[in-house]
Chains A and B, each alone.
Chain A
Amino acid sequence: METTDKYNCFKFFHQKSRKIFLLIFFMLLTILLIFTVVLPAIKAELLFPAGEQAQLFNTSHSDDPMDHRMHGLASENAWLRARLTLAGSDSLVLLVNLPDSIVSLQMNGVIVFETAITGYKISRIFNKYSPLYLTEWCKHPFTVKASVSSIPKMPVIYKKAPKDTIEAAKQQNLTEVPTGQEDTWFSLYTDRNLKLAIKQNETPSTLISEKRQRYFRKTRKLERRELVKSMANFEIPVHFAYITIYVSRSDARVIYRALPEHALVVLRL
């Protein structure tokens, strides 16, 4: 009996201090969960540009077809206005039109690329807002603050200058032309709590692909960093409302490679 006591796993903890330890541990865990999960979700709302107040009204959702018509027209109006605001810009703008299932790229008011959205998933937070509220939210373009991708922005191939013509000929044979078959997923984190992810609709070339793992790792790392940053500043972390759209692999690659670092995104919901 004495031996068992002597080598008891928790002998170094006095019975009372063990309880206190466990209590503090679970309290800390609960506080952490409240701070990182419950509060951000309860406080979650679609953020508007600084200084702008969202119009909130007190009536309920309506099934009146005229209301649907009005919402459709208002949404189109906001969409066209946002596009026109950016039509003077020489920079490339990403346009995501969910009702028409089209994603396109605009330059100086000209649509230079357009493709069909084959499917999409949206955050549950959008179901909590009426269409008019969502239209107000989308009225202004979003600015991309950070992005994570499974492919590089520029497929740079590093090459040392050959010393002579023989080495140059060898290099010529070795230079690989990119096949363009890389699996493509990317996420754009914008200034107003929108996370727009664009993913290929094809199944990945390999199920456990290194690139895919790395993409998800990078996404988690970025989100974790934001969360820890907010916690360090004693601020309630922002809940990102996500929209995931699926396009073909080649189109996803075109969109990602074309977008500038701090691209503008116009959204129609």
Chain B
Amino acid sequence: MKNERIILFWIRFKEFLSAGFLKAAGYIRLHPRLEKAIYTASAGMISIFLLHISITLAPAMQEGVVLLLPLKKANTLSEIKDPDKYIKELERGNMLLEGRLLRRIPTGSYLVINTTENHFKLYHNRKLKREGFCSTGSYIHLEADDSQAWIFKTPKGIFRIRGKTEYPVWKKPDWAFIEEGLPVPPPEHHSRFDYGVLGDYALSLGDGYLIHGTLYKRQLGMPVTHGCVRLGDEDLEVVYYYMQEGSKVFIY
């Protein structure tokens, strides 16, 4: 509706201007009051146009004027009393800072997951042990009829491994049934338990998010999960071996 009004206004305005040009060229005659209105509107529009242009182009034009600025200066080494000592102090300071930064990196194992590229890297003793594709959240926003909604995304941030399980069983939540167009069963109903779909191992990140295996290996490297991180069988085995309870998982 708003767009229609804008288009209509634009058409009328163009007609208005065209009438002005035709009049100026001497093709038509207009009532003096209409003529006055046309030229007042034209002057107004030209002013608005120039205002718009000058504001829009201002940042680019400022760059040109910046050239006229005087040079802002800083001190040189010749002004320092003992330059050798100063440089040595800086070098030592930088080495200490680098050491402190290095100490921030976990010495054990940690996992880095890139949810945009669906890629993981496993580090052990600050060295890359394994990397490969994984699957993360699909970003599907599922809306049920009863105003319930879920968004299937992998949480970002720093997590720790809360627990490790062999041969995990998936207890399907409500959305798994709603997504498939099935009626939601009672909480402990046998249809909620799905065996073998999570692979041989699962590592818990808390809040129901897991790092687990998958039957859909072709989808590794794609954003297709409900928020968990899926890995291929061999990758999962290595990750399960290296990652201990408390190991950090960086997800971005």
Contacts and interface: CB of A to CB of B under 8 A. Distances in A.
Given A7-B30, A10-B39, A107-B250, A74 B90 contact: yes
A203 interface: no
Given A12-B32, A37-B58, A57 B182 contact: no
Contact of A159 (B72, B141, B248, B252): B141
A207 interface: no
B94 A77 contact: yes
Contact of B101 (A45, A60, A83): A83
Contacts of B153: 154
B65 A161 contact: no
Contacts of A66: 77, 83, 87
Contacts of B93: 77
A165 B182 contact: yes
Contact of A80 (B101, B112, B141): B101
Contact of B158 (A108, A128, A159): A108
Contacts of B50: 29
A128 B75 contact: no
Contacts of A177: 138, 219, 222-224
B179 to A, nearest CB: 7
Interface stretch (B142-150, B197-205, B236-244): B142-150
Interface of A: 6-7, 9-13, 21, 25, 28-29, 32-33, 36-38, 40-42, 44-45, 55-62, 64, 66-67, 69-70, 73-74, 76-77, 80-81, 83-84, 87, 90, 92, 105, 107-110, 112-113, 123-125, 128-133, 154-168, 175, 177-178, 180, 220, 223-224, 227-228, 237, 239-240, 250, 253-254, 257-258
| Closest 10 pairs between A and B when the two form their complex, measured CB to CB | A109-B104, A41-B65, A132-B74, A168-B181, A57-B75, A80-B97, A130-B74, A162-B181, A73-B90, A36-B58
Interface of B: 23-24, 26, 29-30, 32, 35-36, 39-40, 43, 47, 50-51, 54-56, 58-59, 61-80, 83, 86-87, 90-91, 93-94, 97-98, 100-101, 104-106, 110, 112, 114-117, 138-145, 151, 153, 156-158, 178-182, 219, 222-224, 248, 250, 252
11 contacts: A7-B30, A28-B47, A37-B54, A37-B62, A61-B71, A62-B77, A67-B78, A83-B101, A168-B179, A223-B59, A239-B66
